[in-house]
A and B are shown apart, each in its own frame.
Chain A
Amino acid sequence: MLKGAGVSLALPFLDIMKPLETLAATVPGAPTSPKRVAFVYTPNGFWQPDFVPTKAGVGWEMPKSLKGLERLRNDFSIVTGLDRKFAGGTSTHGQCCSCWLSSSPADEALDAGFPTNRTVDQFLASELGANTMLPSLELSCVDFNDNKESRYYESVSWYGPGFAANTEKDPQLVFRRLFGKPDPRTSSVLDAVLDEAKALRGELGYNDRQKLEEYMQSVRATERRIELSKIAMAKRSKPPIPEPKGIPEDRSEYIRLMADLMFLAFQLDLTRVATLVVDPERWATPRMYHGVFDKPIEHHKLTHSKEEGSKEKLQKIDAFHVEQYAYMIEKLKQIQTEDGGSLFDETSLIMGSGISDGDKHDFADLQVLMAGGQIRRGEHIKFQGERPLADLWLTTLNRHGVQQERFADSERLIPNIFV
């Protein structure tokens, strides 16, 4: 935290601002089995009858939408029955996405009625991202160009109330940010504008200054990224994969490419925390699911449709997303780490949606898929009655080195999720 600057919405990396010389000594790429966490968001809930196993514990039947995970049965668990509270007055779809990872209680609506707040990935970033080039990586496959929904419908990662982390949507630009050679002039530019911002700060009132703080923090974060990318680049002769050529047309290719980039960043220890928004909430724009339907289809509309066949279609979309998740698990397992294990052993891969039943906009009984070496696998962990989703995030935080007693409206740790 910058002292005395009146900063309220500190970006996570500011908490951990170390002199760059110190960072240079903590060489990225040689961690002692670091932990990584990735959150994958899919929108509009899941078609419940085909997604939720009935039997809890082990040996549960594989629901239709999870069939793509059958071969990986012992690599993941499904957690069901966790709850969130809806804050009235704002839209259900906006809130379920923007507050999935903040899990703030409904009465903590700091952001114009929305309970957005610093999200669990950003808390993790301040701990796990202390030495990496990017404290966290925010990716999204929301390639709609129309101006249909507000940012609440497509932002899962928030630095603080009302302050969403921007996402990168173009794999080519993700690649360049991760592996590109920094322009030497950029550092000069950043020095200059930081001086300018400092000089300006004294002339501003609180509101203006807050915007300026965001700006200055961003400048510092960028300086830091550039310095660390130089160190990382010095350690490898060329980028690990060829540069992607923009957004692939095929939906599944797009999602997988983004996941690949995310895991490459994990593998090279450029970041340890990532979020990937597969699709935004609501957003009534039909989209193509290649190989699933032969024409563009609107996910959200299907959740409320009473037409014949709409539930089958909904199930197919869920299954499609689950397939991508299965791909990600397999990909993680294929990537070898320096100590001979796989990236899977060191990563927690968490996928879910902010509502359960999309038709009813139900914030209760959420489903979360969890995979990775830290996770107890092969189980259906089922919660009865009211149990806040925040308990899962609290447990995730603690498990990954962020020691907290509370997170959002959490009540207590969940003992049996991680090994």
Chain B
Amino acid sequence: MRLRNEDRRDSRWLNRPAPICIKALLFFCGAFAGKAESSSDGLFSERILPLTDNYCLDCHDDNTTKGDLDLESFYDEAHTLANRAIWKKAYDMLDAEMMPPPKEDHLPSPSERAELLAAIAAYLAIPDPNLGQANPGKPIVSRLNRLQYNNTVRDLFGLDHDLFILPDRLPTRRDPYYAEEGKMPDSMIINIREFGSKYTVLLPFSGLPGENRVAHGFNNRGDAMNVSPLQLEKYVSIAGELVNYPNFMVESPRFLTLLGLDIDALCGPDTGGTGGVLVNAAQRFAARDNVPASAPGNDFSLTDFRQDLQAAGKQGRAAVFDIPNPFQKELLFDSGAIIAVKYGSERERRFTINPTYGVSIVPYETAESTANGLCMVNSHGNEKYFDLVLAADANDPREEIRSLGLCVLGMNELSGYVTVTVTLSDHQRLSRTAYVSDENTFFGFDIPEGSSSVKVTIDGQAYGGKYIAVGDIAIATSQGKIGTGNLRDPWMTKNRLKPGWKDRSPRTRLGYFMNDAFRRKATEEEIDRFHSIYRKEESRGASSVDAMRVAVQSVLSSPQFLFRLEKEASMGNEKNPIRELSDLELANRLSYFLWVSMPDRELFEAANRGELTNSSGLETQVRRMMRDPKIRELAETFAVQWLRLDQIYATKPDREVFKAFYRDRLEEDTLHDDYIIEAVLLFETIMIEDRSILELIDADYSWLNAFLLDVYELDERHEGLLAAAPQHLKDTTGVTDRTRYHLWYRVPLTDKTRGGVMTMGGPLTLTSTPLETSPIKRGNWMLETVYNRPPPEPAMAFVLEKSKNEAESEPKTLREMFEMHRDNPSCYTCHNRIDPLGFALEAFDPIGRLREKDTKGAVVDASGVWNGKAYDSPVSFKSAIMERPEYFVRGFIEHLLSYAIGRKLEYYDMATVSDIQQKLEERGYRFSELILEIVKSDPFRKTLTGRAASPRPPQFAVKERGPLGERALTSESPLNQSSRYDTEQ
């Protein structure tokens, strides 16, 4: 290699044009060049080259080529246009003032720098001469990652919770989610699950491997995900587990129908191992007469309800479930097995109760049962929260619930507020909150017409103890006008699988399912293909149900399900290298962007009506989607990965030195969760209330609980905040401290030390080591997260020791050692950016507390200069950052755009980013505007087609076979070219 350089130097020296000729040559080229060059109008030769010639060529000529960059190779405009990725890199280095090296004597003036930046930006925005317009990037070809797979299967089958345990799920449900209201409350209870503990899922002992993150990016990037035999086996095997898992039929009425079965298949004497039970309705509601209390706002009294039940019962339309004797052993409904209650006179009906979130039926010593000595409680201690889906008649969607009553059981020596919420199939909610003491309390609801099923949520999180118990549950029903489908499967409508359709032919059922599974209309040939599996299995002697299971497993293992394929792209007209995405493709992009899942019924329908390809239709859907609880995924995935919060659990502050971080002896209760939630809540507030994204880094409020108030030395505010919180949240007697700390307040901040992600405990902790802060990690985090300009990897690890030895006098502080380190010119370029940010945050200790002295006892010096403004405290540092908010805005747009389209941004995306940025500035940086501008942008709505998407057969496909084995021969592959400046994928 060394020899080659020598050779090259000698020969090139003779052959290359002298630098002084370059301009002339360019003029020459420009004058005689074809169309491609004319578009640049001498931009490159007149505005860029003179400046780079003056300031860059000393190091980046073809002789020196520092950093492997030879700017002299750009003497041919066609060549230059085709290699603009390098100029994006040059732009970033110039922009960050990392190049020319700040310590050089010969530096461009600020106006020269600005001119050069503007010129390069304009040059990068020139439409690709081969495309005739800006390059929108390649189509999405991506395997579903773990989260996408989980969510897609969940929504495909209408499940209420995750398919399997996701280790990276936030340890809190926040249910009901506040997206619909468009407003966050001022205080709320947030229950936190212990990190790493199990939670309610369908398949608790299964899962898929997660994807690695991409350096400086997110884990949804198609180019970083392969399919290997091991991966494929896991997909096939989990689909097999799913379709054969008995409770899956119970959890998903949709799957049950797909198998051609109805509810009776799950209950009664022959339950087929589903854990379902079939019982007879009781004669009387709350027969023990021990329900003295009634929730405020009940639609009727207990007495009236009993009379109503009696009258309805005469017509066979009352069903009382009193947790009867067959349950003498403890029953765990962890995976949501079904309870069917037989009622009716002429016609036998099935009132079903379907606990969806870890419920047990047990005798409970400190509670008094309303009938048979048993009650229904949350099975996971401390959750005190569960859902029951009630269907008036599981076999007849026309039967509707007219009224509903249930008893919440009081427990000895405990009390607190309990909220029972009934959610109707149109998502309307009816809610009652009662202060429950040790007396049993009745909750009664009139149910509006059209509700064949409802979801009842029992929220006892503010009640004392670890459990919330429910006694009798009863409904009165009537025959409705039309069937409204089933709440558990809210997007099942006309053209899709419905409970009544179990008698349709297997092929028809499979076809409906495939439309959804493939997220587009399945062709007849495709349906035939999968139907033939069904027939083959049947001919081998499988029952029709088992044959269907294999067919469904095959659909879930097929490439059309497992991949997101914008396959029309490849069939595109070669003459037109760019095309607009179809409505259906846009629906898919939108839903995987905002929900990390498949489109819902409404989005599919909007796509079928062709509404997504026009801006107003698109906007309507986006705004609707942002009001859907599924938008939480944007916070839990994008925001968490953006801030690197998923790494916080791996940071373990020393428990001797940082006792405040550990709240109990077992190390189970730490500030990790609180720190994640604080940041997620800020993001959610901005997202849900449609606030300015600038608040992400500079907000005058923060979400804090008692622990964080303490850590942030704001504990004097606690009394006031507690006093202002709604009574039903705080009035808890007999509660543990833990519960009390689950009360979160939106705290107005007068002092800007906190407020915004930069000075939150989470990022400050995850960038520290167990004993010390790391200014480097913090500086890097700032550059990467806040600015999306991560510094390049250092060529080698720097040894502080060295500068220590070389120093004449022993440096005293870490800061002094770093300053010596920065004296090295090759380190200075990056550390000139990293260190001011890192050292500004030295005002915070390794767990994010303000401090005056560092861990070694030296006085902390958090002063510096940024954006030309001096700072000496977190407050003035924040003002220095806000001096140029546009740098943050640009970085944030880039992060979100890259996440939205699942690819790394390229130089040709720069124009889109600055376009969005300009619009945002005009519109007050509102979050929804950002989302809308992203989905309306070319990279989101268009794609390269056919050959343009894969310009030539990748050259690394050319392999040399034979004695040398199979090896790539060239490094000039498109893969390599397009990502030369991505340090890794």
Contact = CB atoms under 8 A, between A and B. Distances in A.
Interface residues of B, number: 98
Given A111-B985, A407-B965, 7 more contacts: A113-B979, A146-B646, A153-B212, A188-B536, A196-B554, A196-B558, A212-B563
Given A195-B529, A203-B571, A94 B953 contact: no
Contacts of B67: 88
B971 to A, nearest CB: 6
Interface stretch (B78-86, B226-234, B419-427): B226-234
A222 B233 contact: yes
A234 interface: no
Contacts of A10: 966
29 contacts: A91-B983, A92-B796, A94-B215, A112-B975, A112-B982, A117-B968, A138-B230, A146-B650, A147-B219, A147-B646, A148-B650, A162-B226, A165-B228, A166-B230, A189-B533, A196-B526, A196-B559, A196-B560, A206-B949, A206-B953, A211-B227, A211-B563, A218-B227, A218-B231, A222-B232, A286-B770, A306-B801, A406-B967, A407-B965
Contacts of A237: none
A359 interface: yes
Contact of B976 (A110, A207, A360, A361): A110
Interface stretch (A29-37, A370-378, A397-405): A397-405
Interface stretch (B136-144, B297-305, B890-898, B932-940): B136-144
Nearest to A7: B957
B570 interface: yes
Nearest to B565: A208
Interface string B939-974: 000000111011001101101000111111001010
A405 B963 contact: yes
Interface stretch (A296-304, A314-322, A344-352): A296-304
A205 B946 contact: yes
A109 B976 contact: yes
A108 B240 contact: no
Contacts of B982: 112-113
Interface string A206-239: 1111011011011101100100000000000000
Of the candidates A159, A214, A286, the one having the most CB atoms from chain B within 10 angstroms of its own CB is: A214
A208 B567 contact: yes
8 A-B pairs with least C-beta separation: A205-B570, A8-B957, A206-B950, A285-B650, A218-B232, A221-B229, A112-B979, A192-B554
B226 A207 contact: no
Contacts of B985: 111-112, 150, 162
Nearest to A206: B950
A238 B213 CA distance: 40
Contacts of B947: 205
A199 B560 CA distance: 11
B194 interface: no
Contacts of B231: 166, 218
Interface string A1-33: 000001110110000000000000000000000
B559 A150 contact: no
How many A residues touch the partner, as a band? 35 or more
B331 interface: no
Interface string A70-111: 000000000000000100111110100000000000011111
Contacts of A90: 793, 983-984
A204 B652 contact: no
A118 interface: yes
Given A192-B530, A193-B554, A218 B563 contact: no
Contact of B967 (A118, A152, A360): A118
Interface of B: 1, 67-68, 138-139, 141, 143, 167-168, 196, 209-210, 212-215, 219, 222-224, 226-233, 236-237, 239-240, 525-526, 529-530, 533, 536-537, 549-551, 553-554, 557-560, 562-563, 565, 567, 569-571, 641, 646-647, 649-650, 652, 769-770, 792-793, 795-797, 799-801, 945-947, 949-950, 953-954, 956-957, 959, 963-968, 971, 973, 975-976, 979-985
A145 to B, nearest CB: 4
B895 to A, nearest CB: 16
A374 B785 CA distance: 51
A138 B237 CA distance: 19
A161 interface: yes
A400 to B, nearest CB: 13
Nearest to B167: A145
B652 A286 contact: yes
Contacts of A200: 559-560, 567
Contacts of A199: 525-526, 529
A246 B973 CA distance: 42
Of the candidates B800, B953, B979, B983, the one having the most CB atoms from chain A within 10 angstroms of its own CB is: B983
Contacts of B551: 192
Contacts of B143: 211
A144 interface: yes
Given A185-B550, A207-B141, A168 B236 contact: no
B168 A207 contact: no
B558 A404 contact: no
Of the candidates B537, B965, B971, the one having the most CB atoms from chain A within 10 angstroms of its own CB is: B965
A189 B235 CA distance: 11
A112 B977 CA distance: 8
Interface in A172-210: 177, 183, 185-186, 188-193, 195-197, 199-200, 203-209
B557 A189 contact: yes
A186 B241 CA distance: 11
